[in-house]
Structure 1
Amino acid sequence: MAEWDVFEVLEPASQRIPLVFNSPHSGRYYPQSFLDQSRLDAHSIRRSEDHFVDELFQSATLIGAPLLRAHFPRAFLDVNREPYELDPRMFEGVLPPHANISSMRVAGGLGTVPRLVAENMEIYRSRVPVEEALARIESIYKPYHATLRKLIARTHVQFGMAVLIDCHSMPGNVHLAGSGQRPDFIIGDRYGTSAAAELSRFAVELLEELGYAVTRNKPYAGGFITEHYGRPTRGLHALQIEINRSLYVDEATLVKKPGFAALATDLATFVTGLARHVEDYGAYLPLAAE
């Protein structure tokens, strides 16, 4: 189905650290056929993107870790979902019996093939043929996850452990419930189940030392990818990192702010520090998380 390079792996000259980076929502290539199906203009449909997150973390390859990045947009297909979280109201035809039609994400319009972009804006003019949705899953979702699994497995074999960093962004107006605090970063570990607690705490501390306001698991604890790949008792750790977009992009124009380069430099420092910590203290990381 896909007629463009739907994703790519940016490889280091040699992998020197047991980290794997993933940017599943920064894709910004919108097929014309998809735009023709949408009721949204070319700017509004981009509201669900994790704008430029793949570029912010591109230094990971220089430090010695691979980076998997999507070119397809999240509005087209969301790989941070189960493979068949699908809303029957969206489609023309009958969904397969194994489809999960009742998850909270489906109810919110944010399934594997989303119904909405941010701010509850409907994507499609009319129902989508069910065959098209299933083709996206077969030709993009499954190969994407197969590639991510291979990167993690390769890292685990080489180093005896692997740490997945799932890279995302959040709207600038996100704040903690019951307070006016607007975090710059959120580290998610599925409430201690997807990574060793010490690793999560250290990630928070690194970012705080760089001068940022950081929270853990609130309001974002991690999605399907973090939950699915994090197996700390087996030496497989997964952290989700959310970056406040107001730090680096004008959310109205989607133009990078002058602080973009400084943030990318800070993230390179963060990656280096996290890698050093994992290498120095890797012996305890396979232990069960809190």
Structure 2
Amino acid sequence: MTPVDVHQGASPVILGLPHTGTFVPDSVRERLNEQGRLLTDTDWHVDRLYDGLLAGVTTVRATFHRYVIDANRDPSGQSLYPGQNTTGLVPATDFDDRPIWREGAEPTDTDVAERLNAFHRPYHAALAAEIARVRAIHGVAVLYDCHSIRSVCPFLFEGRLPDFNIGTDNGRTCAPAFETAVADICAAADGYSHVVNGRFRGGWTTRHYGKPADKVHAIQMELTQASHLASEDPPFNYDPGKAEWLQVHLKEILTRIEAIASSLTSGGRP
């Protein structure tokens, strides 16, 4: 199993999918405990949710599970949200603070270094290459990082999350037009709630690549799984009816992002 799956397109938009993969090498799986083997914190069906919404889009998808190593964490191990509960580069617990490794089988520093080389770095090498390729074609690239999470995770945040969680690191990772357009579409989506730079301000991927001055814009979308799953509990089944309603708005978001990017290639202002 290769650590990353890439589908190249001609659009200025790139979809990042760091957390939909479920591959766990046997040598890692045998060290997970019963809770860990459930792979509960997967971004269930997010790749399916976005499939076909924007013609010509490039996708870069990690095939490995985030319990192997988290492709959306700083490779140095530095926390994205200092002072707040979160999970690390190689998580010790799940999103409910339950241990995921058998006692005595927790990953070592050597394990982390090996997984960085085998999984994390290949994913980001592929993502960086696609950003460079797309920017060379269009003069601009937009990375839209696709995520989902259970709507209620008391260990990570209080209460219930909005359905659309838009992250731009407080406006640093993209031109204002992108953030405004996405927020406006979400605000107008009947029956859904949204927030901009709330609990999720964009992970390491968004913050690392989003450099508007270099004509690379990045925005993270964290969806609640209640918006497209039949249940946020195992077996995390996809709900085609819910997904169809949600996809109307996601398609509008991607189409609008592409239009803004295209206006930049023709000399317009964001």
After TM superposition, the score normalised by the length of structure 1 is 0.81
Question: Alignment length, in residue pairs?
Answer: 261
Deviation per CA, 1:45-80, whole angstroms, max 9, x where unpaired? x221111111112225x5111011111111111011
> Residues 235 and 33 (structure 1 numbering): CA distance in 2 closer, same or farther, change over 3 Å?
same
The residue that corresponds to 2:205 in the other structure is 225
CA contact (8 A) 1:109 1:116 kept: no
Query: Residues 114-151 of structure 1: CA distance to partner in whole angstroms, max 9, x if unpaired?
Result: 11111001111123343322111111111111111011
1:40–1:107: structure 2 CA closer, same or farther, 3 Å change rule? farther
1:103 to 1:255, Cα distance in 2 relative to 1, 3 A: closer
- The Cα offsets for residues 161-199 of structure 1, whole Å up to 9 and x where unpaired, read as 111101111222269xx9977411011100011111221
Instruction: Give the SS at the match of 2:130.
Output: helix
Letter in 2 for 1:48: D
The answer on whether the counterparts of 2:14 and 2:59 sit within 8 Å (CA) in structure 1 is yes
1:284 maps to 269
Report the residue type matching 1:75 in the other structure.
Y
Q: Which of 179, 188, 199 in structure 2 is aligned with 1:209?
A: 188
- Which residue in 2 is equivalent to 1:8? 5
Identify if the C-alpha distance between structure 1 residues 119 and 162 changes in structure 2 by more than 3 Å, giving closer, same or farther.
Answer: same
| Corresponding position of 2:165 | 186
Amino acid at match of 1:278: A
Between 211-220 and 233-242, the greater mean CA deviation after superposition = 211-220
Change (3 A) 1:22 1:208: same
Aligned partners of 2:67 and 2:90 also within 8 Å: yes
1:110 to 68, 84, 87: 87
Supply the AA of the counterpart residue of 2:201.
Answer: A
1:251 maps to what in 2? 232
SS of 1:137's equivalent in the other structure is helix
Measure the CA separation in 2 of the matches of 1:68 and 1:234. 21
Q: Which of 240, 252, 257 lines up with 1:269 in the alignment?
A: 252
C-alpha spacing 1:30/1:265, structure 2 compared with 1 (3 Å): farther
CA distance in 2, matches of 1:268, 1:104: 30
Whether contact under 8 Å (2:164, 2:223) holds in the other structure is yes
Q: Return the alpha-carbon distance in structure 2 between the equivalents of residues 66 and 163 of structure 1.
A: 10
Unaligned runs of 5+ in 1: 86-99, 286-290
Asked if the contact 1:63/1:272 (under 8 Å) is kept, the reply is no
Q: Distance in 1 between matches of 2:149 and 2:158?
A: 17
Q: Which amino acid aligns with 1:246?
A: A
CA-atom RMSD in angstroms: 2.7
| Native 8 Å contact 2:4 2:122 kept in 1 | no
Post-superposition offset of 1:268: 2.4
Match of 1:59 among 52, 56, 78: 52
Distance 1:136 1:107 in 2: 25
Using the TM superposition, give the Cα deviation of residue 214 of structure 1 relative to its aligned residue in structure 2, in angstroms: 1.7
What is the rounded CA distance, in whole Å, between the counterparts of 1:269 and 1:104 in structure 2? 30
The offset of 1:265, in angstroms, is 4.3
Question: Identity rate of aligned residues, in percent?
Answer: 27
Q: Runs of 5+ in structure 2 lacking a partner?
A: none
Aligned partners of 2:169 and 2:197 also within 8 Å: yes
